[in-house]
């Protein structure tokens, strides 16, 4: 019994439970990969050969036993320092006490001083309610609108796929309309208007100008919807010469009917990505000549690989306004994602993804609850946000306290994103759609700037690859000219990411810092290639680890600027670290601890390689 329970717990934390995309090559259909894994010969044929580049395990070596000892000392210390300054006995407690609220865990207060975090935490019961109600309503809808097939017809036949698509899309459009009205009230009309305008850009303009027009239109919306506070009705009416008072009164009334989430434009960023996805998928579909790509490649449409689901265009008649509307406001993913491309959405509406299994979905749901519990624990015992919001005299804090409060503030940002992303993806899985997992690794399990971007908000990363990075030509650092062009490409990607988050100079600085921190890592890869160190693997591992320590320090600095308090916060952090002997001692100890932690990160990835898994992050 005990072994069974431990085995179940281990299965909850397997990569396959998190997302089958992590254990199945993107070019291999999930069914084929699952069958291939059952025997070594099949694994070779399925492109799942194991451990070609993996090193021998180091978990039981004396070196790693020393690292375990360091972990036993350092990890509790890292939690204790911010907890100690969050206690009522701390003399600075009255300065940030007003930012705390009543909690439910061991008599502790809870720090929900971050407005976004407070909103997310307050809406979690509503999300769970929708997670139950929407799938049940779909079942009722399917009873009244069944898929009618001829006797003996296969459930994977083209006709059955069209019937399933019609059944799902009709419900998604119906439920999405209700959700849009409930969430945004009369502002739903603005969203509908923007969707219609974007659809006209895709379907009415000449093919050559569609990509440019799509980017210009959507960037314009990104900027102006915040500048003009969500396009208030009264603002438009004031532009009409001699507008009657009755029209102004109507506009004012409509501005006040804003639904449950009155600031619709704050959450519309994620929908912008879907609008761009539809337009570019549609434009690339029109470039296709001849018959269906599925027929040309002799693929099974009911068992496509993820790459084929994303890259294979739907039939032209599937790019209708109703299908586009249902995709743009698909309820489980509408507010925060993860991001699913239009082609992938249509494909999964036609054929249910084989990766959706009840046991896996249940385990994923349990993992969601554990993440929620972890967030609650941190918010009850670490008041990093409240301390920061109180604008304290940082000189009264030791370098260790400043550094670890900043460190945990980044973890709180990670948690407040992770919780809704996991819950919304769980809702989609329950509803029969498998979107990409957004968070692959804990924010602490990253040592590479490039890899960090691949694993943080992963669906957005994949979106930028498909719609920005690859169309711009990707990257090539073999010559100075190509390196300069590649740097411009990276700047274009991350400046869009910054503007997408918010029209804010602080975030633009963050985007420039990220690109600046990419360059040393890329240069190091060219200066110290692995092949030249094949005879000295340990020396190469130590060299990489030293560079990775610097990477981690740079990543922490960049994210403190972008999401943890700005340039002033980063300045205070580094000033504290170089303030006297105590600061330098802590920085030295931190670098040594990071060295140990990164060695463990290296070995985690080697363990994955030994299982035939290469996540490239």
**Cα dist from 109 to 79, 86, 116, 370, 552, whole Å:** 17, 10, 18, 20, 32
**Which pair of tokens denotes residue 160?**
């059955």
Q: What is the mean pLDDT of residues 120-133?
A: 92
Residue 46 has pLDDT above 60, yes or no: no
Please give the span between the terminal C-alpha atoms of the chain, in angstroms, as a whole number: 36
Q: Which residues contact 180 (CB under 8 A, 6 or more apart)?
A: 188, 191, 192, 329
Mean pLDDT of 145-169: 80
Q: Is 520 exposed, middle or buried (0-12, 13-18, 19+ CB in 10 A)?
A: middle
Tokens, residue 311: 């890259």
Q: Is 501 a catalytic residue?
A: yes
Average pLDDT over residues 247-258: 84
**What pTM value is reported for the model?**
0.92
Closest Cα partner for 606 from 546, 553, 541? 541
For range 221-233, the mean pLDDT: 88
Cα of 169 vs its chain's centroid, Å: 25
| pLDDT tens-digit readout, 445-477 | 988 888 888 888 899 999 999 999 999 988 887
Element (H, E) at 102: strand 101-102
The answer to whether 559 touches 498, Cβ cutoff 8 Å, is no
Q: Tell me, what DSSP letter sits at residue 355?
A: T
* C-beta neighbour count of 43 within 10 angstroms: 17
Average pLDDT over residues 235-241: 81
Helix (H) or strand (E) holding 109: strand 109-110
The average confidence (pLDDT) of the chain is: 88
- Percentage of the chain beyond pLDDT 70 is 93
- Residue 28: the pLDDT is 87
pLDDT of residue 617: 83
Distances (CA, A) of 331 to 276, 325, 366: 18, 11, 22
Asked if residue 316 has pLDDT above 70, the reply is: yes
User: What is the structure's pLDDT at 72?
Assistant: 96
pLDDT digits (tens, 9 = 90+) for 469-520: 999 988 887 788 888 888 899 899 999 998 998 888 878 887 888 888 788 8
Name residue, tokens 């009543």.
102
Give the model's pLDDT for residue 1.
Answer: 45
**In this structure, what DSSP letter does residue 314 have?**
P
Give yes or no for a contact between 439 and 455, defined as CB atoms under 8 angstroms apart: yes
Q: Which residue has the tokens 């460190």?
A: 407
Range of weakest confidence among 15-24, 155-164, 405-414, 422-431: 155-164
Residue 52 has pLDDT above 70, yes or no: no
Radius of gyration of the chain (CA): 26
Q: How far is CA 564 from CA 52, 184, 367, 401, 552, in A?
A: 40, 29, 27, 15, 16
What the block records as the tokens of 41 is 């010969």
Looking up tokens 């084989």 gives: 354
Nearest 5°: phi and psi at 412?
Answer: -65, -40
Give me the mean pLDDT over the 292-312 stretch: 81
Burial-class residue 266 by CB neighbours within 10 Å (0-12, 13-18, 19+): middle
Length of the chain: 617
Mean pLDDT along residues 77-99: 94
SS3 readout for 169-197: HHHHHHHHHHHHHHHHCCHHHHHHHHHHH
Choosing from 265, 380, 411, 501, which is the catalytic residue? 501
pLDDT in tens, 577-589: 777 787 788 888 8
């Amino acid at each position: 019994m005990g072994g069974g329970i431990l085995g179940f717990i281990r299965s909850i934390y397997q990569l396959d439970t998190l997302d089958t995309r992590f254990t199945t090559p993107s070019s291999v259909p999930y069914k084929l990969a699952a069958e291939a894994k059952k025997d070594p010969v099949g694994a070779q044929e399925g492109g799942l050969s194991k451990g070609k580049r993996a090193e021998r395990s180091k978990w039981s070596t004396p070196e790693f036993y020393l690292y375990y000892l360091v972990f036993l000392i350092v990890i509790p210390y890292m939690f204790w320092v911010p907890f100690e300054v969050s206690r009522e006995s701390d003399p600075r407690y009255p300065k940030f006490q007003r930012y705390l609220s009543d909690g439910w865990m061991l008599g502790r207060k809870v720090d929900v001083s971050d407005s976004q975090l407070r909103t997310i935490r307050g809406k979690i019961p509503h999300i769970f309610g929708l997670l139950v109600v929407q799938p049940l309503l779909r079942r009722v809808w399917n009873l009244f609108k069944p898929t009618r097939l001829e006797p003996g017809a296969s459930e994977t036949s083209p006709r059955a796929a069209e019937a399933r698509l019609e059944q799902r899309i009709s419900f998604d459009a119906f439920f999405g309309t209700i959700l849009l009205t409930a969430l945004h009230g009369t502002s739903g009309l603005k969203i509908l208007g923007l969707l219609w305008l974007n659809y006209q850009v895709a379907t009415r303009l000449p093919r050559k100008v569609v990509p440019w027009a799509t980017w210009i239109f959507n960037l314009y919306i990104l900027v102006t919807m915040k500048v003009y506070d969500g396009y208030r009705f009264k603002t438009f009416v004031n532009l009409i010469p001699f507008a009657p008072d009755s029209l102004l009164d109507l506009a004012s009334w409509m501005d006040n009917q804003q639904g449950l989430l009155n600031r619709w434009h704050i959450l519309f960023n994620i929908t912008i990505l879907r609008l761009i996805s539809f337009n570019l998928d549609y434009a690339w579909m029109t470039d296709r000549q001849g018959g269906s790509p599925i027929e040309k490649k002799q693929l099974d449409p009911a068992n496509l690989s993820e790459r084929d689901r994303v890259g294979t265009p739907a039939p032209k008649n599937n790019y209708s306004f109703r299908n586009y509307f249902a995709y743009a406001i698909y309820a489980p993913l509408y507010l925060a994602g993860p991001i699913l491309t239009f082609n992938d959405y249509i494909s999964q509406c036609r054929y249910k993804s084989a990766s959706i299994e009840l046991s896996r979905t249940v385990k994923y749901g349990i993992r969601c609850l554990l993440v929620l519990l972890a967030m609650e624990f941190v918010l009850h015992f670490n008041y990093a946000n409240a301390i920061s919001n109180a604008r304290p005299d940082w000189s009264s804090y030791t370098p260790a306290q400043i550094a670890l409060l900043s460190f945990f503030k980044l973890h709180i940002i990670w948690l407040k994103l992770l919780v809704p992303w996991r819950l919304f993806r769980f809702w989609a899985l329950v509803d029969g759609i498998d979107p990409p997992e957004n968070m692959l690794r804990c924010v602490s399990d990253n040592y590479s700037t490039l890899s960090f971007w691949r694993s943080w908000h992963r669906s957005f990363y994949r979106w930028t690859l498909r719609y920005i990075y690859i169309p711009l030509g990707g990257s090539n650092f073999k010559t100075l000219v190509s390196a300069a062009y590649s740097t411009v490409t990276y700047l274009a990607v991350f400046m869009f990411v910054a503007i997408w988050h918010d029209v804010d100079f602080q975030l633009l600085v963050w985007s420039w810092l990220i690109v600046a921190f990419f360059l040393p890592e890329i240069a190091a890869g060219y200066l110290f290639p692995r092949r030249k160190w094949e005879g000295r693997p340990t020396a190469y591992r130590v060299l990489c680890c030293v560079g990775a320590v610097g990477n981690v320090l740079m990543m922490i600095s960049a994210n403190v600027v972008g999401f943890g308090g700005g340039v002033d916060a980063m300045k205070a952090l580094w000033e504290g670290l170089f303030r006297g002997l105590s600061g330098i001692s802590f920085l030295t100890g931190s670098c040594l601890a990071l060295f140990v932690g990164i060695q463990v990160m290296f070995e985690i990835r080697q363990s994955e390689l030994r299982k035939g898994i290469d996540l490239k992050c």
